[in-house]
Chain A
Amino acid sequence: MAKTGGGETVVARGVKVEGDFIVEGNIIIEGEVRGTIVASGDLQIGPEAKVDADIKAESATIAGEVRGNMRINAKLDLLPSSKFTGDLAAEILSVGAGAQVNGTVRMGVEEPPKPARGKRAQAASSASDEEAE
C-alpha cells in the first residue's frame, strides 16, 4: 500500500491568490499572493514570487519579494535574493548577504508587531494560539 502524501500546498508561477489563505501543512509560493497567509507548517517563498500579505507560519525560507508583517514561530531564513518590507518577529533569524530588510525586527517569543489584516485570518490565528496554549 502506498503511503499517503502530506497536505502540501503549491502556488506556482503565473497563479495569483487573493484573500485569507489559510493552509494546513507546508506551503510553497512561486506566484503571487495578496492578503493574509496562515500556515501551520513551513513556508517557502521562491525568488520570482511576489507576496503582499501578513504572514504567520511555523518556519519560513524567503527568496523573493515580501511586503507585510510576518510572525514566524521558529526559524526565518532570508536568502540573499530576498526583499522584505514590513515588521517581522521570529524566534531565530538568518539573513543572507545581500538580503534587503526594511522595517522592525523582533527576536524571541514576543507578540507579533501588528495584527493580521483579514478578520477570518485573525480568528484562525487566535484559535491556533489557544490550541497551542
Chain B
Amino acid sequence: MYSYFYDAFLQDRKYERDIALLETRLTDLGIMGKITRLALFRDGVEVIRDEIADGADTIVAVGDDNTLRRAIEAVGDTRTVLGYLPLSNKSVFAELLGIPTGVAACDILSARLVQDIDVGEINSRRFLHALEVDAADAVISCEDLFTVTVPGKASISVRNLAFPDDTGVTDPTDGKLVFVIRQSHFSFFGRKSEVSKIPFKRAHIFTDKHVNITIDGGEKLQGKEFEIRAIPGRLRLVTGKERKF
C-alpha cells in the first residue's frame, strides 16, 4: 500500500497544477494510494509513523528535501520502503538519487528500483547526505583504534551520499562514512588545497570549543563532543538509474 505525504508548502496555489498532473500520472500507473497533507503545526514525523503502524509498506514524501528528511526520521528502523516525488527545483537528494523533479518522478516510483542505503547517525540523529563541521581544532577518534588531529583552519565534513568531486565518489552502500578534511596552504605559487579522506564505521569528534554541525544542509547541532556511526543498509529507498553512486 502506497501512502503519500504532501508537505505543507504544497498548499500554495502555484502547486495546484503540478499536484493534479502528479495524481493523474500516479492513477495511470496504478500506484495511487492514501494521501495525507502535512500541516504547519502538525508533527509530520508522528503522522508518518502512525501511517506505518497502520500497515503502509511504501511511504512517499511529496515536496522538497525537508519532507524527505522527516520521512527518513519517521521510517527509522522499520524497513519500510521510502519513495520521493520532488516538487522543488532545488532538491539535492533528488539529484543524488537520480529522481527528476515533477511528474516524471512518478515513473521512477513505479519502476520501484529499491536500494538498501546506509544511514549516518550523529548523537542519535540520522542523516543521509553529509555533515559539515564548523572550523575548530579537533581530534577525531575512529573505531577506538586511532586518532586524527585536525588543525583549526581545516574544514571537516562527514559524507554518506554525496556528489562526486575531487575526493571521488562516496558509496552509500559500503557500510562506511567518510571524513573529508580540507586545508588551504599558501605558498609562493599561490593557494593550495590539501584534502584528507578517511573512511570509518564509528567515530567521535572532540573540539576545543563549542561548534555547530550542520546535518544534511538543514538542522544544526551544537556541542564539543559528537558520536557518529554508520548504520549499514538501513534505509530502503526507491532510486532512479541516474543516481550518483
Binding site for B on A (CB under 8 A): 1-22, 24, 30-31, 35, 120
Contacts and interface: CB of A to CB of B under 8 A. Distances in A.
B149 A18 contact: yes
A10 B145 contact: no
Contacts of B149: 15-18
Interface residues of B, number: 33
Contact of A9 (B185, B194, B197): B197
16 contacts: A1-B242, A1-B243, A2-B164, A4-B171, A6-B168, A10-B198, A12-B181, A12-B194, A13-B194, A14-B154, A15-B151, A15-B196, A16-B149, A18-B149, A19-B145, A35-B146
B145 A120 contact: yes
Contacts of B151: 14-15
A117 to B, nearest CB: 13
A31 to B, nearest CB: 7
Contacts of B154: 14-15
A86 B168 CA distance: 35
Given A2-B164, A2-B169, A2-B244, A17 B147 contact: yes
A24 B212 CA distance: 31
A8 B168 contact: yes
A73 to B, nearest CB: 22
A12 B193 CA distance: 10
Interface in B179-198: 181, 183, 185, 194-198
A19 B203 CA distance: 14
A18 B146 CA distance: 5
B197 A8 contact: yes
B185 A13 contact: yes
**Which one of B197, B242, B245 has the greatest number of beta carbons of chain A within 10 Å?**
B197
B101 interface: no
Contacts of A12: 181, 183, 194-196
Interface in B194-245: 194-199, 241-245
B120 to A, nearest CB: 16
A21 B245 contact: no
A10 B197 CA distance: 5
A4 B146 contact: no
